[in-house]
Amino acid sequence: MLGRSGSGKGTQAQVLAREFDLEYIGTGDLLRKFSERKNAAAHRMKETMAQGKLAPSWMPFFIWMEKLAYTDVHKGVLFDGSPRMLGEATTLDEVLDWFERKKVKVVLIDISREVARHRLMKRRICSVCKRGAYVENEQEAPQTHCQYCGGDLTIRSEDNPAGIESRLDWFDHEVMKVVEHYRSKGKLIVVNGEQDPEAVHQEIVKALAKRNVFPKQ
């Protein structure tokens, strides 16, 4: 599942994984968890992350292979936000082919750059319970406290204007190559992400069912 920052792909991926019992693969979280282990590679990974550097391009495969190796071959697998580069995509194609996972589909949750920017500027996180929130009508009545626990809402550190633009640039320059790769192979499903989350979910399920992605219930 791919989409710009702010497309809601993470939420959609988790809902879909739960509903259809898919193995959920969130690469960033898995890399963070991996770096807490006690081995030489994990230690090196922890250093790399502490220096604010990107993980090497083969590192996600190290993590993905382990997930795939321990997942029943009949169970579906959902990659949230990956692959993020064309080289990753072509290697992942080979990996999935080797595992005889044939029904590969790529769902793009499509929102414009303007909508993405607008959503990310309004995004907040609760400093206490870490739940996400959106600040509507900021001028008229700014919402400053979490609706669940009353904690202070703060801007995520990565949601500063420069951080937002650099993530949107990354999507346009790198992830779009992945999108075009799967479009040319006839594996791309484009869903309108500028509607409410439930409608997005229904559109995804309908599109996947039409292509017989899920085993018959």
Residues that bind Zn ion (CB under 5 A): 126, 128-129, 146, 148-149, 151
Q: Residue 150: CB partners within 8 Å, gap ≥ 6?
A: 128
CB of 157 to Zn ion, least distance (A): 17
Min separation Cβ 122 and Zn ion, Å: 17
Indicate the residue among 95 and 149 with the shorter CB distance to Zn ion: 149
C-beta of 1 vs 146, nearer to Zn ion: 146
The answer to whether residues 174 and 85 touch, using CB atoms and an 8 Å cutoff, is: yes
Amino acid at 77: V
What's the angle, vertex CA 32, arms to CA 161 and CA 121, rounded to 5? Answer: 20
CA 42/CA 129 separation, integer angstroms: 28
Least gap, CB of 96 to Zn ion (angstroms)? 39
- Distance between CA atoms of residues 181 and 161, nearest Å: 30
Strands 123-126, 153-154: pairing kind = antiparallel
Question: Please, which residue, 92 or 146, has the CB nearer to Zn ion?
Answer: 146
Region of residue 186 (left: phi > 0; alpha: psi -120 to 50; beta: else): left
CB of 11 to Zn ion, least distance (A): 17
Residue number with CB closer to Zn ion (88 or 159):
159
Q: How far is the CB of 132 from Zn ion (least distance, A)?
A: 10
3-state SS assignment for residue 123 = strand
Peptide bond before residue 215 is cis, with ω within 30 degrees of 0: no
Nearer to Zn ion, 133 or 176 (CB): 133
